[in-house]
């Protein structure tokens, strides 16, 4: 409380008024219509909020308005979160705006959060329900408006990345009354026809009201029930819709959706070239290794003539060894024969008889070896070295 006897300067008064206002009013919401809007070179926004009975000056500094994804215009109905302050230099009462949104968005955000929580509780956002995108799709479906800039962006990107892929467009309005039902119907049609490998649901950027059709439950359930992998690409990178959460993949922009749906032809060709070069190097190394191995084996390999010569040499050695073995065997057998001949000669009765001995036999051919075999008057045959004679026994003497 200022001393009533103290004379205040204007600066002191404005400072005290500012402090009083700032401590008396915490952060609050206020609604009104924008007028006298000025966007300064500094990036700050200056405007007034008015209703039928009054108006108040406002400032939204660059550090705050940079976070908005839309730019207010003269006459817009808005809702602002603000603090009360006083611009001391001029003594102007004003509001410092922390956040700004179009009027009525509070109800939309409330409906958005309510549906989001409901569908999350039912499991529509669960990871186990997500379908992986095909690596090399042959045909891609697009659910969007035929007149949308987003479609042109998607088609341009697809032609650049993979011109051979086929495109099927399932046309539908993407904003306005009843658009949600038509979007859901287009998704179901694509699913029933099952002619595509992946489905892109897209539209360009806009206000929350423009994108609201993709926050409708009917669209969310159509995406969840689709058996095709679905890419949601609604709005700009900062925009998040219920469709984004339900879809198998969320793309920040339609162009990004086209990039996610297809491999890059240039990258594929580059990878193919690299694979070809690696294969060529591998084959070259393999051929070189096999060539060296062949050279090594060829040094050990004999030609047919060399093999014949080698075999002939081996055969000659075997023949020589056979002749030598036969010679040794003949010599050995000859020696055995000579020994047998000598033994036979020694045992030959004729040889004995040649030395003056005689062979005595009875006339019945019995060989006489003992004198007891004979009696006086017996006739015997005497075989001599040459010829034989008969003799009569006149005397027998035992030994």
Give the phi and the psi of residue 330 in degrees, each rounded to 5: -65, -45
Average pLDDT over residues 333-361: 80
Contact between residue 138 and residue 156 where contact means Cβ atoms under 8 Å apart: no
Could you report the per-residue pLDDT of 189-207, keeping only the tens digit for each? 999 999 999 999 999 887 7
Share of the chain above pLDDT 70, in %: 97
- Quote the distance between the C-alpha of residue 107 and its chain's center: 48
| Longest CA–CA separation in the chain, Å | 209
Which residue matches tokens 């036979």?
A: 344
Architecture of domain 10-103: Beta Barrel (2.40)
Q: Does position 238 have pLDDT exceeding 70, yes or no?
A: yes
Q: Are strands 77-87 and 28-39 parallel, antiparallel or unpaired?
A: antiparallel
User: In the chain, where are the structural domains located?
Assistant: 10-103, 108-129+137-266, 352-392
The phi and psi torsions of 242 (rounded to 5 degrees) equal: -60, -35
The per-residue pLDDT for range 166-192, each reduced to its tens digit, is: 999 999 999 888 999 999 999 999 999
CA distance 360 to 393: 12
Segment holding 227, helix H or strand E:
none
- What interhelical angle do 265-300 and 149-161 show, nearest 10? 10
Helices 179-193 and 217-225 pack at an angle, to 10 degrees, of 10
More confident residue, 398 or 151: 151
Strand partners, 198: 140
pTM over 0.85: no
| Whole-angstrom distance, CA of residue 201 vs CA of residue 209 | 18
Average pLDDT, the chain: 87
Phi, psi of 127 (to 5 degrees): -65, -30
CATH number of 108-129+137-266: 3.40.50.10550
């Amino acid at each position: 409380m200022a001393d009533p006897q103290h004379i205040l300067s204007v600066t002191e008064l404005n400072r005290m008024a500012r402090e009083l206002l700032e401590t008396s009013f915490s952060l609050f919401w206020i609604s009104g219509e924008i007028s006298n809007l000025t966007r300064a070179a500094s990036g700050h926004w200056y405007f007034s909020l008015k209703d039928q009975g009054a108006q108040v000056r406002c400032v939204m500094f660059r550090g705050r308005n940079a976070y908005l994804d839309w730019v207010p215009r003269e006459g817009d109905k808005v809702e602002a979160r603000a603090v009360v302050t006083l611009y001391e230099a001029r003594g102007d009462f004003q509001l410092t705006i922390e956040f700004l949104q179009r009027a009525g968005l509070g109800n939309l955000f409330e409906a958005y959060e309510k549906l989001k929580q409901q569908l999350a509780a039912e499991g529509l956002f669960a990871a186990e329900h997500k379908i992986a995108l095909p690596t090399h799709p042959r045909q891609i479906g697009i659910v969007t408006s035929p007149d949308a800039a987003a479609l042109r962006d998607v088609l341009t990107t697809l032609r650049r990345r993979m011109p051979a892929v086929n495109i099927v467009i399932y046309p539908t309005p993407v904003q306005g009354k009843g658009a949600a039902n038509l979007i859901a119907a287009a998704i179901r049609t694509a699913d029933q026809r099952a002619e595509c490998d992946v489905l892109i649901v897209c539209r360009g950027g806009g206000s929350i009201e423009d994108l609201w059709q993709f926050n409708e439950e009917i669209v969310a359930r159509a995406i969840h029930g689709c058996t095709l992998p679905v890419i949601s690409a609604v709005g700009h990178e900062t925009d998040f819709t219920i469709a984004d959460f339900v879809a198998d993949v969320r793309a920040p922009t339609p162009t990004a959706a086209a990039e996610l749906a297809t491999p890059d032809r240039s990258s594929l060709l580059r990878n193919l070239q690299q694979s070809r070069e690696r294969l060529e190097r591998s084959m070259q190394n393999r051929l070189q290794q096999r060539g060296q191995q062949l050279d090594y084996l060829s040094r050990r390999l004999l030609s047919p003539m060399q093999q014949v010569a080698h075999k002939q040499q081996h055969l000659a050695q075997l023949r020589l060894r056979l002749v030598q073995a036969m010679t040794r065997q003949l010599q050995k057998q000859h020696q055995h024969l000579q020994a047998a001949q000598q033994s036979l000669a020694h045992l030959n009765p004729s040889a004995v008889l040649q030395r003056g001995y005689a062979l005595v036999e009875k006339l019945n051919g019995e060989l006489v070896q003992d004198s007891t075999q004979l009696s006086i008057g017996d006739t015997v045959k005497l075989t001599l070295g040459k010829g034989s004679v008969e003799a009569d026994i006149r005397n027998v003497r035992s030994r």
